[in-house]
Structure 1
Amino acid sequence: MKFSALVAIVPEDLEQECIDAARDLGAGGMTVLSGRGISNTTRKTFFGLTYDGSQSVLLMVLERALSLEVLKALQKVVMPDPKDSQGLIFTVPLEHLGGIDMAQVEKFEQHLKDSL
């Protein structure tokens, strides 16, 4: 079985919706980190101060085929309009992996069997 790491950088207000979308597809656990985005254009706010926004970084280890399904579902959440993306999602193939819960591996295997 091949695995991928999925990284989703999303606005804080879309965090729970992204978590729910990933879980609905079979993503078991994930790590959620807080971040601060700095874009190429700054937004002016009150008294001339700039605010770039708080973001959440979701990290998941998924079976490779499942990672593509989750990526597509998260893309619908953060990019409902093709001209306006509110986040970034990407996967990275994993060559070596240790410490993953075997119950989660069994869920991935079942997902693969069900999708065939």
Structure 2
Amino acid sequence: MREENMSELYMMVSVLNKYKVKKISEFYNQQGISVIMWLMARGTAAGEILDYFGLEESTKVVLISLVTRETWNEVKKGLRGKLNIEVPGTGIVFIIPVSSIGGKKQLQFLTENQNFVKGEESSLKDTKYELLVVVLNQGYTELVMDAARDAGAGGGTAIHAKGTGMEGAKKFLGVSLAEEKEIVLIVVKSGDKNSVMRAIMNEAGLESKARAIVFSLPVTSALGMRLMEPEPEE
């Protein structure tokens, strides 16, 4: 396999029927994938669609992991062949390219057991914004947001979640991570990404009680960001 393929890193999002979570989580574990976060959700399919497929409105579980391209290729085979992911009502799994991760130890922790070779920071052509995903201990959202705003970011959105697969944190990060987590989503200009990530790591990183881990995802298009743009000259 070519080394540049192994250098590609993605956020894998699995939206699953709650009855399938245990089996698919076990499969991920066998593939060396750590599920770093899980969130409870609710399916919103229209009633006629549920009736057509003989399904009931059900609780969903969202699993978030980081995978290499090589790992993703293996996961696809297993999800299709062994776990029947494409049977209606089972769930969906998709990946989003990761452009950067804050900190070498954090990168090692998030890619443990995967054949990952660090390459150049990735980006999509003409990407104007980046989505920062900050995973932190519960109760420290304002600490993260204060640091982000001081570095030029606007607002953010906080989501309560639960961390899993955190047993290896002590090995790589030198700290134990609590299970109760918050995810903070912040959209920033691409040019401000590094400074905002650095500010979050300095103020709310592993040396703080927040124990924040931050990575970025490219945003190909965005609306509602007018406040982040300079006022046009008269």
TM-score by length of 1: 0.71
Q: Deviations over 1:71-109 (max 9, x none)?
A: 332344253xx5635211111111112253525545323
Q: Mark the runs of 5 or more structure 1 residues left unpaired by the alignment.
A: 44-50, 111-116
User: Over residues 43-62 of structure 1, what are the superposed CA-to-partner deviations in whole Å (9 max), with x where a residue is unaligned?
Assistant: 5xxxxxxx511011111011
Q: Which of 43, 55, 58 lines up with 1:53 in the alignment?
A: 58
**2:79 corresponds to:** 74
Does residue 90 (structure 1) correspond to residue 115 (structure 2)? The answer is no
- Structure 1 residue 13 and structure 2 residue 19: aligned? yes
Tell me which residue corresponds to 1:24.
30
C-alpha distance 83-64 of structure 1, shift in aligned 2 (>3 A): closer
Larger displacement relative to structure 2 (33-42 or 4-13): 33-42
Q: Output the TM-score relative to the length of structure 2.
A: 0.38
How many residues are aligned here?
Answer: 101
Q: Residue 64 of structure 2 aligns to which amino acid in structure 1?
A: L
CA distance in 2, matches of 1:39, 1:4: 27
CA distance in 2 between partners of 1:58 and 1:23 (Å): 13
**Which is helix-richer, 1 or 2?**
1
Task: Give the CA RMSD over aligned residues.
Answer: 2.4
Deviation at 1:30, TM superposition (A): 2.5
3-state SS of paired residue (1:34): strand
Q: In the alignment, is the contact (CA less than 8 A) between 1:22 and 1:73 conserved in 2? A: no
Moved more, 52-61 or 92-101: 92-101
CA pair 102-14 structure 1, distance change in 2 beyond 3 A = same
Q: Which is higher, the Rg of structure 1 or of structure 2?
A: 2
Describe the shift of the 1:24–1:92 C-alpha distance in structure 2 as closer, same or farther (beyond 3 A): same
Q: What secondary structure, in the 3-state scheme, does the structure 1 residue paired with 2:78 have?
A: helix
Structure of higher RCO (CA pairs closer than 8 Å, 6+ residues apart): 1
Percent of residue pairs identical: 19
Unpaired segments ≥5 residues, structure 2: 1-6, 117-234
Query: Residues of 2 paired with 1:84 and 1:39: CA distance?
Result: 12
